[in-house]
A = this chain, B = another copy of it.
Amino acid sequence: MRATYMYGAGDVRVIDVPDPVIQQPTDALVRVVRSCICGSDLHPYHNLPATPEGKSMGHEFVGVVEDVGGEVTTVRAGDFVIAPFAWSDGTCDFCREGLQTSCRHGGFWNANGVYGGQAEAVRVPLADGTLVKVPVGEDSALVPSLLTLSDVYGTGYHAAFKGGVSAGTSVTVIGDGAVGLMAVLSARQLGAERIILMGRHKVRTDLGLEFGATDVVAERGEEGIAKVRELTGGDGTHVVLEAVGHMPAYEQAIGVVRAGGVISRVGVPQYLDAPVGFPSLFGPNITLTGGPAPARAYIEPLLPGVLEGKVDPGKVFDRTIDLTDVPDGYRAMDDRKALKVLVRS
């Protein structure tokens, strides 16, 4: 089958690899219907050291089950399924607490003999815990929205949920990428009335307004902070959802959060240390939370809204390509010509 490998920064290739097979009785074999390219895939695209063997890519996919191991009970051949971006047993204490990213027996795609979703098929470990069956056909118009439950929608929701967004909460979202826009949608779903979106790509912030943002601040840094302060009577917002991961976004978050408020990060931090002392977090009693979203935990609660058409998170996909063209997809996202690229397998 064909699968996407990255051989170093900027070097993405679609190659032929052996077809995956069931290895464990808890495995499922899934034929990929749609996958996509993630903002976080651009980090290795910028800095992956070159290797001859390459690295398999992709951690978001939906597909149809082709075969299952002898112990799998919740899905069977022919089922349409969503795979979240971490695989997990669904039974350990962390999974039961809704922190499947810390599952005692789980892991992430593209590591330890488990390969990626930007491919024609994937061997899914711990299928009962990992996969969620959805009662739609693979040609459903809902497929793009269902695919967002693999990662970006759950990640945006994680930010808002961990931030404690509720009715009456004011929110700033930093970043107008797919995750930032999903954070806007999620904050709206959780009842936030005031949602300030910080971003400067008009097409994206327009989509943010459609998803529920009430204000857009295009300025960055000190100027952006001043603008958000101005919009909030000088106070900043109760919650800040940080969907970028670079230090300037962290500093911006500290600048726009209200005393006693929460900064919830879902942008993977590209730094190790950051200000947490008296002037930044401690003095004003700011809480810092967030992390990799346990997307699996949010699929069931978010699924009805998608199936009923109440939300349309699939709008974050603004380009669709075939698997063969994945290298072009990376380039388009890196050049910011595409917000998020959908891949037909």
Contacts and interface: CB of A to CB of B under 8 A. Distances in A.
B282 A271 contact: no
A286 interface: yes
A174 B72 CA distance: 45
Contact of A287 (B97, B285, B289): B289
A162 interface: yes
A78 B99 CA distance: 55
A265 B290 CA distance: 17
Interface in A248-284: 259-260, 265, 268-269, 271-284
A260 B102 CA distance: 8
Interface of A: 94, 97, 99, 101-102, 162, 259-260, 265, 268-269, 271-292, 294
B289 A278 contact: no
A99 B272 contact: no
Given A286-B291, A288-B289, A272 B281 contact: no
Contact of A285 (B268, B272, B275, B291): B291
A276 B280 CA distance: 13
Given A260-B102, A271-B277, A272-B277, A292 B282 contact: yes
13 contacts: A94-B260, A102-B285, A268-B278, A271-B276, A272-B276, A272-B280, A274-B274, A274-B276, A274-B277, A282-B290, A283-B292, A285-B291, A288-B289
A154 to B, nearest CB: 13
B268 A272 contact: no
A191 B162 CA distance: 23
B290 A285 contact: yes
